[in-house]
């Protein structure tokens, strides 16, 4: 693997102008077209992100990466806003911290974030208390019935959530939308940004929105081709390999004991890279490196799920 890498030509591209801005009082110059998030990262600021995906067009839906920009009436999503000359950005003001805390509280009170990386640290850092809105409402069995503009208002004694039954309708992957923050990344990966399969979209409106196939048909009836590129970009674990889902249910899933090996997919000649996640000498899931020039983290059903033969010992 390393040998091919060394022979890859370096892409020069067009010369890019640098834009200078200020982040928390530090002056920084970044290439034109960079985002505020890029600039913040360049000066070492660690901005939390959820709906941001390194291989996708920013949707700026989650609003956890908001920063303050001088002259702007409202806070600004750093993941999508492009840098402009001399703009003054602040990432740690009272207003920014309040916004981050509340977004984390709103998400934490409505979505199961137990498998979302970094959330625990952020909750602590911003002193978020998702429990303040009251005890969670019981599981909703009708989230896939859509009546936009209608909702049942209770008495406020419980906090509404995304809690709903898991969707286990095929042998390859599971959709646990109780963990869904509606970041749109799976929809974009399935749609025009990568796969062009269009199996899923956001259905319904407002808090009653759901990622869904048409009329909520099961995946085998839908346009899904099981490329698993939605799993690759899901930031919360709402989409997961059936193998991971089953192991978590059994209590045997243990990331500390897993190794990751990146290798070349052998099914065809395209040259996609696979990262095999192995626990107890068994492949438990497959991902793909996002920075690889062939697939950018995308695979097809064979690369993503066609690993059983390796384990036929």
Partner 1 sequence: MILALDDTVDLTRILLRIAGFFRDESCGQCVPCRVGTVRQEEALLRIAHNGRSPGSNAGDILLLRDVGQVMKDASICGLGQAAWNAVESAIDRLGALEETR
Partner 2 sequence: MDLKFTDATAHEDERDAVDRLIGEAHSGWYGGERDATDHRMSYGGHQARSERHLVLEALHAVNDRVGWISPGALNYIGRRLSVPPADVYSVATFYALFSTAPRPKRIVHVCTDVACEALGAKGVCDTLQARLGPPGAASGWKHSPCLGVCERAPAAMAVEAGDPVVEHVIAPTTADDVVQALEVGPATLAAEASPTMAVPQAGDEGLILLRRVGRVDPESIDDYIAHDGYQALDRALEMGPQAVVQEVIASGLMGRGGAAFPTGRKWEATAGQPAQPHYLVCNADESEPGTFKDRAILEGDPFSLIEAMTIAAYATGAVRGYIYLRGEYPRSYRLLHNALHAARKRGYLGADILGTGWSFDLEIRRGAGAYICGEETAIFNSIEGYRGEPRTKPPFPVEVGLFGKPTVVNNVETLVNVLPIMELGGAAYAQIGTEQSTGPKLFCISGNLVRPGVYEVPFGSTLGEMIELAGGVPEGRTLQAILLGGAAGSFVRGDELDIH
> What's the longest Cα–Cα distance across the chain?
66
Per partner kind, with CB cut-offs from 5 to 8 A, the member of partner 1, partner 2, none near residue 155 is partner 1
Q: Which stretch binds partner 2 (CB under 8 A): 120-128, 213-221, 255-263, 300-308?
A: 213-221
Scanning residues 24 to 63, which ones bind partner 2 (CB under 8 A)? Answer: 60
Closest approach, Cβ 145 to partner 2, in A, equals 7
Per partner kind, with CB cut-offs from 5 to 8 A, the member of partner 2, partner 1, none near residue 145 is partner 2
Q: Measured between alpha carbons, how far is 286 from 131 in angstroms, rounded to an integer?
A: 35
Closest approach, Cβ 153 to partner 1, in A, equals 6
x-or-dash string of contact with partner 2, 164-203, rule CB under 8 A: ----------------------------------xxxxxx
Residues near partner 1 (CB under 8 A) are: 60-64, 66, 74-75, 95, 98-99, 102-103, 106-107, 109-110, 132-134, 148-151, 153-157, 159-160, 181-182, 202, 204-209
Query: Total residues contacting partner 2 (rule CB under 8 A)?
Result: 25
- Choosing from 217, 276, 278, 301, the residue that interacts with partner 2 (CB under 8 A) is 217
**Nearest CA to 143 among 122, 164, 171, 119?**
164
Q: Which stretch binds partner 2 (CB under 8 A): 18-26, 219-227, 232-240, 302-310?
A: 219-227
| Binding positions for partner 2, rule: CB under 8 A | 60, 77, 80, 145-150, 198-205, 212-215, 217, 221-223
């Amino acid at each position: 693997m390393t040998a091919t890498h060394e022979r890859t030509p370096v892409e020069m591209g067009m010369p890019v102008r640098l834009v200078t801005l200020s982040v928390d009082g530090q002056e920084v110059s970044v290439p034109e077209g960079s985002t505020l998030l890029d600039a913040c990262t360049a000066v070492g600021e660690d901005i939390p992100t959820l709906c941001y995906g390194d291989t996708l067009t920013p949707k700026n839906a989650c609003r956890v990466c908001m920063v303050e920009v001088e002259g702007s009436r409202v806070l600004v999503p750093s993941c999508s806003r492009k840098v402009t000359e001399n703009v003054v950005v602040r990432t740690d003001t009272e207003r920014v911290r309040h916004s981050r805390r509340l977004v984390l509280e709103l998400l934490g009170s409505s979505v199961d974030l137990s498998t979302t990386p970094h959330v625990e640290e952020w909750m602590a850092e911003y002193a978020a208390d998702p429990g303040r809105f009251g005890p969670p409402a019981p599981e909703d069995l009708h989230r896939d019935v859509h009546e936009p503009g209608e909702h049942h208002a209770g008495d406020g004694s419980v906090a509404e959530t995304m809690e709903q039954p898991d969707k286990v309708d095929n042998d390859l992957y599971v959709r646990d939308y109780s963990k869904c923050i509606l970041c749109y990344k799976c929809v974009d990966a399935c749609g025009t940004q990568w796969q062009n399969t269009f199996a899923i979209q956001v259905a319904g409106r407002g808090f009653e929105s759901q990622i869904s196939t048409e009329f909520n048909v099961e995946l085998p009836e839908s346009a899904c081709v099981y490329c698993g590129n939605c799993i690759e970009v899901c930031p919360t674990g709402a989409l997961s390999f059936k193998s991971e889902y089953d192991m978590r249910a059994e209590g045997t899933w243990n990331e500390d004991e897993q190794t990751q090996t990146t290798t070349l997919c052998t099914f065809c000649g395209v040259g996609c890279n696979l990262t095999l996640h192995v626990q107890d000498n068994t492949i438990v899931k497959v991902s793909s490196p996002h920075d690889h020039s062939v697939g950018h983290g995308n695979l097809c059903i064979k690369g993503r799920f066609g690993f059983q033969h390796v384990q036929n010992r």
